[in-house]
Amino acid sequence: MYKLNFLLYPNVQNYHITKDDSLNVLSNNDTFYSLKKEFLLKYNFNDLKTIDFSKAGVLGLFLDLKGKIAVSKGESEAIIQAAQEYEKLGLEITWLELKKDGSVDLSILEHRKLDYIFISSYVMDTFVKTELKNIKKLNSAKIISNCSANFDEVCDIAIFDCYKLCGYTSSAIVLYNDEFEEQNIANIDSIAVKLTLQALKEQKFNTTNKEIFIKELQEVFKDDLYFFVDYKTTLDYSLHFGLKGIKARELIRTLSLSNVLITNGEGCSLGLSKPSRIIQSMGYDELTSRNAISLSFIEEYSKEDIQKLSKLFYKKYRQIKVLNEQ
């Protein structure tokens, strides 16, 4: 199997859970506190809490912050939905738009008083990088980042999406210093903490496949392939491009029959059957957003493997186009 979608679909492993991993107010919970200490030391934070990484769960996080909040439109679906719900309550959100090149427009930060900014070191789907240190030069607000695909130590609050990291729970781990009250131990998802930490310790990326894939895909697809974003601005273990004249789901489905897994974006991985919201936020229409393909690399492949995959991509692409023309 060629798993080329691991940043958006969990790389599921077998994990061993014991009764010691549970929490009990009548016990000392040594196992959990040991994991918690390890987690906090690894990323240099003072405390952690868990939330359900959904519209409702993240909305609770917004309400706990009690301040002026900005949200990048390049964030995860749960954060975007929570921000929209926050506005429905009559509260203000400052939106950071995406530019046509896929980067986040930061210009509004220079003259806006803010307490918190939800912005990660990468944009969802395209994985265009954002330099968080540049944001610190523009605004004094604390930065809250989804760090599931890349951790940037500049962030003030880090969120790890357990589902995207290991696939077993919808919880997220929130690492912080003094921004929240201590969470009641009975409300902490100790299993999510354990699985997320273990997944992060085992997390690996491949940065050698990308350039070879680009060359081979351009060789076989020629003018049928194009880029929504400059691939040089994206995470080194990701590749985003578009294919003219087809819907991504058609290629996703047919390649899966050959054990090759790709994605259009987060809308696929959440089971929403929606084309990339990120591409639409960049100014493209819904039809064009269906052309988008997002790849991510965890394993190293030989040049021969990549050539074979590129030719398979093109073969299936041509078959789909012929069928669509009939």
Distance, in Å, from the CA atom of 294 to the CA atom of 298, rounded to the nearest integer, reads 14
The whole-chain average pLDDT of the chain stands at 94
Percent of the chain residues past pLDDT 90, beyond the cut: 85
Q: What is the pLDDT of residues 57-79, one digit of tens each?
A: 999 999 999 899 999 999 999 99
**Structural domains present in the chain:** 19-202 (3.40.640.10), 206-325 (3.90.1150.10)
Confidence (pLDDT) at 165: 93
Q: What is the pLDDT of residues 36-59, one digit of tens each?
A: 999 999 999 999 999 999 999 999
> Which of 169 and 256 is assigned the larger pLDDT?
256
Give the angle subtended at the CA of 312 by the CAs of 311 and 317, to the nearest 5°. 95
Q: pTM for the full model?
A: 0.94
- Summarize pLDDT for 275-310 with one digit per residue, the tens: 999 999 999 999 999 999 999 999 999 999 999 999
Enumerate long-range contacts of 16-20, CB under 8 Å, 24 or more apart.
17/191, 17/194
Confidence of residue 24 (pLDDT cuts 50, 70, 90): confident
